[in-house]
Amino acid sequence: MCATFWGRLRRTRRPVAGERVARGRSVSNGHGAVEKRNIAQYIPVWDKDLCIQCGKCVMVCPHAVIRSKVYSSELADKAPATMQWAKPKWKGMEQDHYTLQVAPEDCTGCAVCVEVCPVKSKSDASKKAINMAPQAALREGERENWDYFLGLPEVDRTKVSHGQVKDIQLLQPLFEFSGACAGCGETAYIKLLTQLFGDRLYIANATAARRSTAATCRRRLTARMRRAWTDVGELVV
């Protein structure tokens, strides 16, 4: 019965959008990072004075556009003037700098990060440690900040806990800027898995969505996957 089902599926399968391009391998993995859809009218802005560095906003972001890093004071001196930083709330990192950075042209403006933020200002309850603001006025400066932020070194994975949200925020996501809807509740899980397991992770599916999944994974994550395309599915990560 199973063989009959799959045989019928192969015979009746219809091409999906971009099928011919994908089969010709003209769509490279990781190109979502340079797409820059620039669709958000409002983007999150970090308030370093209110932030408790819990990492919840980084955890729930469906498109990996909110990230944090801890880096040395020497690197902080070379950062753009508009790039914010705060003293890290980790033991042994007190002399370094902590930055929560947003990718302005990749954000979809879903505001899930604001919803999950547990901190409120004592003087203004409507203000949190991360708040939405018009994107247009911030785009140029935040773009420069984001580019510099990406060049900062990643954290040593052996020095942070993989079981705490606060520490996981420092781990590099290898699934980023997907074409998922704003506020998607699924892609955040894939992103989290790539943070926890890095390039050891394999993801399998059998739907047309594999195109967008492959396109939003970093190339080095999928370089090991030299699999032949099949009619009904494939491993994309």
pLDDT of residue 90: 94
Is-contact 58 67, C-beta < 8 A?
A: yes
- β-pair type (234-235, 204-205): antiparallel
pLDDT of residue 224: 40
Residue found by looking up tokens 């399968």 in the block: 13
pLDDT along the chain (237 residues), means of 10: 54 48 56 83 96 97 96 95 95 94 95 96 94 96 96 93 95 88 87 89 62 55 39 37
Query: Can you name the residues that pair with 133 across neighbouring β-strands?
Result: 43
- Across the chain, how many H-helices and E-strands are there? 10, 6
Among 61, 99, 94, residue whose Cα is nearest residue 80: 99
Residue found by looking up tokens 């806990």 in the block: 161
List of domains in the chain: 26-235 (3.30.70.20)
Structure tokens belonging to residue 86: 């705060």
User: What's the angle, vertex CA 79, arms to CA 77 and CA 83, rounded to 5?
Assistant: 120
Q: Report d(CA 2, CA 87) in Å as an integer.
A: 59
pTM: 0.77
pLDDT of residue 28: 62
Q: Report d(CA 52, CA 85) in Å as an integer.
A: 13
Q: Report d(CA 5, CA 76) in Å as an integer.
A: 59
> Measured on CA atoms in the order 63, 213, 34, 171, is the torsion positive or negative?
positive
Query: Considering all CA atoms of the chain, what is the largest pairwise distance in Å, rounded to the nearest integer?
Result: 67
